[in-house]
Amino acid sequence: MTETVLNVAQSQKIAQPHIEVEHLNLWYGEKQALMNISMQIPKNSVTALIGPSGCGKSTFIRCLNRMNDLIENCRVEGKVSIEGKNIYGTGVDVVDLRKQVGMVFQKPNPFPMSIHDNIAYGPRIHGVSKKDIDGIVEASLRSAALWGETSDRLKSPALSLSGGQQQRLCIARTLAVKPSIILLDEPCSALDPISTSKIEELIMDLKKDYTIVIVTHNMQQAARVSDYTGFFLMGELIEFGQTRQIFHNPRERSTEDYITGRFG
């Protein structure tokens, strides 16, 4: 498997990957959930992680901002470097890490406060001065393609927005603290097709400024939005490569079986 990863890296000549995962293993208690994962993710790219339920893709994405630290009995071995720095090394400030690596979840989870305050929350706790807040709110909502729909109702409760708008708000909230990486864990699975296509457009727009990793069950979505795709199965990264290659001519039989729906 390592060889496959290296081949991709070599063919892409990733001199300095934005995210580099080396021999990552993870256990929940006695149960090993990730097995020797290595992957290099280039800057300003979209990487989709696909695989059947329970294959480890969400567990993996949560390793990229140490969200698994919050789970009891969870043990991680190996190395995850972001811009060359091992995030599992000593002296890493996890709060700072999560500022740099933002995350959006399956179910939109706006705070029970106004649209404006949802976005302002992060910058405020990171000590941004009052006079800069409004500018950040506007810029974040614009980047998340939500400004047009909310500029005249910033004081309204965030929970009054539709599901799709709430999810874009969550993306805007993530952008407000100026991350360099955005992790999306099935961000469209609770959304209708129109909201989904808006999020997909947004992902493709955001790529120019951010590195994006998305977990999705929707294979067509992975094919549409991503530059690289990783296929996980039972805790292993079976194949990682350019999305074009994975969906056109996968090297591994199990990848082929999964994406053509022959699995099971």
Partner 1 sequence: MARERYIKQLDLLKESVVSFGMMVELAFKDSMVAVIDLDVKLAERTLAFEAEVDKLEEGIEVSIFDLLALQQPMASDLRLIVSTLKISSDLKRIVGLSINIAKIPGRIEGGHIKPLIDTKKMADIAADMLENSIKAFETQDVELARATAARDEEVDKIFYAVWVELIEMMAKDTSIISKATYLLFLVRYIERIADHCCNICESVVYLTTAERIKLN
Q: Please give the residue ranges that form the binding site for partner 1 (CB under 8 A).
A: 219-220, 223, 247-250, 255-256, 259-264
Mutual orientation of helices 163-176 and 115-125 as an angle, nearest 10°? 20
Contact present, 217 and 189 (Cβ < 8 Å): yes
Q: Which is nearer to partner 1, 85 or 262 (CB)?
A: 262
- Of 29, 44, 24, nearest in space to 228 by CA: 44
Q: Which is nearer to partner 1, 97 or 259 (CB)?
A: 259
SS3 of 190, please?
A: coil
Output the smallest distance, CB 42 to partner 1, in A: 23
Output the smallest distance, CB 263 to partner 1, in A: 6
Q: Which is nearer to partner 1, 210 or 231 (CB)?
A: 231
Output the smallest distance, CB 158 to partner 1, in A: 35
Q: Which is nearer to partner 1, 16 or 249 (CB)?
A: 249
Output the smallest distance, CB 261 to partner 1, in A: 4
Output the smallest distance, CB 5 to partner 1, in A: 20
Q: Which is nearer to partner 1, 68 or 221 (CB)?
A: 221
Q: Where in 16-98 does DSSP place strands (E)?
A: 19-28, 31-41, 46-50, 74-82, 85-86
Cα 45 → chain centroid: 11
Q: What is the DSSP letter of 242?
A: E
Contact present, 46 and 225 (Cβ < 8 Å): yes
Output the smallest distance, CB 231 to partner 1, in A: 11
Output the smallest distance, CB 248 to partner 1, in A: 6
Q: Which is nearer to partner 1, 208 or 248 (CB)?
A: 248
Tokens linked to 19: 């995210």
Q: Which is nearer to partner 1, 236 or 252 (CB)?
A: 252
